[in-house]
Amino acid sequence: MKHIARKRFGQHFLTDRAIIEAIVEAIAPQPGDAMVEIGPGLAALTQPLVERLGRLTVIELDRDLAARLRGHGQLDVIESDVLKVDFTALSHATAGAPSAGRRLRVVGNLPYNISTPILFHLLDHVGVVQDQHFMLQKEVIDRMVARPATSDYSRLSVMLQWRYTMDNVLFVPPESFDPPPRVDSAIVRMVPLAEPPAIDLKLYGDLVQTAFSQRRKILRNTLGKWLEARNFAGQFDLQRRAEEVPVAEYVALAQAVQ
């Protein structure tokens, strides 16, 4: 029976064989990699991946699709909302398995309606991640990789760039899906930094959210009050807008406030 895409799950199924091959090529799966696919759907990407890997863990919320996937002998199916999955525990899940305790390679065509919460959820588990390859709305990836003093530079840029190097590796047009989304898509590669700066992630998140809460205003009006409340006595140029401050300066400020 044909599966009908469900709007509430943000389902758009990849059907373009050339695009699928290009994505697999970009991911470059190797036998024995501890790989997890988010939202495998109708297994368009799943099948070529598992053929190269030997075994693959998939996370699928749709009950009907999860049932189909369980019939595949090389898949370990987690039927769950991805935001509830403990990726740190998952990396150590199967004692004695070749992939147990190894860093995860996470891939997937992320539901566009919750892509940012998924990225932030994975940030909490970045210590067990080797790399991430995601299909996302192109404009989201533009924000992820944006440089300071550009219109795309945002809270998302600053929250991710302190911890990952990121590249937009492939453009994916709407006609590559069934049903076609109303937006352009792309593939992003995210590789955790080997030696990230030491910061309090919650404090950093609060700082960045405050800075970008009114991005058209000078930081003195937003971040200045936040720093005052914490009795910050150091130096930081508040006569700028949030989008003008490089990631390294936000990181240094978070470390100084600590």
In a domain, 113, yes or no: yes
| Distance of alpha carbon 53 from alpha carbon 97, whole angstroms | 14
Whether residue 147 is contained in a domain is answered as yes
Question: In angstroms, rounded to a whole number, what is the distance separating the alpha carbons of residues 41 and 60?
Answer: 7
Query: By residue range, what is the domain housing residue 175?
Result: 7-192
- Type and span of the H or E element at 256: helix 247-257
User: Does a structural domain hold residue 64?
Assistant: yes
pLDDT above 70 as % of the chain: 92
Give the model's pLDDT for residue 101: 62
pLDDT at 154 > cutoff 60: yes
pLDDT at 9 over 70: no
Is residue 96 predicted with pLDDT exceeding 60? no
Express as a percent the part of the chain with pLDDT over 90: 84
Lowest-pLDDT range of 44-53, 61-70, 94-103, 107-116: 94-103
**What are the CA-CA distances from residue 159 to residues 56, 93, 205, 251 (Å)?**
29, 28, 7, 10
Residue 1 belongs to a domain: no
Rg from Cα positions in the chain: 20
Residue 107, Cβ neighbours under 10 Å: how many? 28
Q: Residue 37's beta-bridge partner residues? A: 58, 107
pLDDT of residue 11: 58
Are residues 179 and 130 part of one domain?
yes
Mean per-residue pLDDT, 23-32? 96
Examine the pLDDT at 12 and tell me if it is beyond 90. Answer: no
Is residue 249 one of the residues assigned to a domain? yes
User: Are 176 and 220 part of one and the same domain?
Assistant: no
Write the pLDDT tens digit of every residue in 164-221: 999 999 999 999 998 888 899 999 999 999 999 999 999 999 999 999 999 889 999 9
- The answer to whether residue 109 sits within a structural domain is yes
Confidence band of 5 (pLDDT split at 50, 70, 90): very low
Residue 2 lies in a domain: no
Please state, in angstroms and rounded to a whole number, the distance separating the CA atoms of residues 208 and 141: 19
User: How high is the pLDDT of residue 13?
Assistant: 83
Q: How confident is the model at residue 113 (pLDDT cuts 50, 70, 90)?
A: confident
Q: Give me 214's structure tokens.
A: 């009114």
Number of domain units in the chain: 2
State the Cα–Cα distance between residues 182 and 173, nearest whole angstrom.
Answer: 10
Give the three-class secondary structure for 166: strand
pLDDT of 31 above 50: yes
Known binding-site positions = 12, 14, 39, 60, 81, 109
For all residues of the chain together, what is the average pLDDT?
Answer: 91
Is there a single domain that holds both residue 216 and residue 241? yes
Across the strands, what pairs with 127?
A: none
Predicted pLDDT of residue 1: 42
- Look at residue 93 in the predicted model and tell me its pLDDT: 75
pLDDT digits (tens, 9 = 90+) for 157-177: 999 999 999 999 999 999 999
Q: How far apart are CA 161 and CA 245, in angstroms?
A: 13
Same domain, 111 and 170: yes
Q: List residues forming the annotated binding site for S-adenosyl-L-methionine.
A: 12, 14, 39, 60, 81, 109
Q: Is the pLDDT assigned to residue 95 strictly greater than 70?
A: no
Q: At what angle do helices 201-211 and 247-257 cross, to 10 degrees?
A: 120
Q: State whether 68 and 154 are in the same domain.
A: yes
Say whether both 28 and 114 belong to one domain.
yes
Q: What is the CATH number of the domain that holds 183?
A: 3.40.50.150
At residue 182, the pLDDT reads: 87
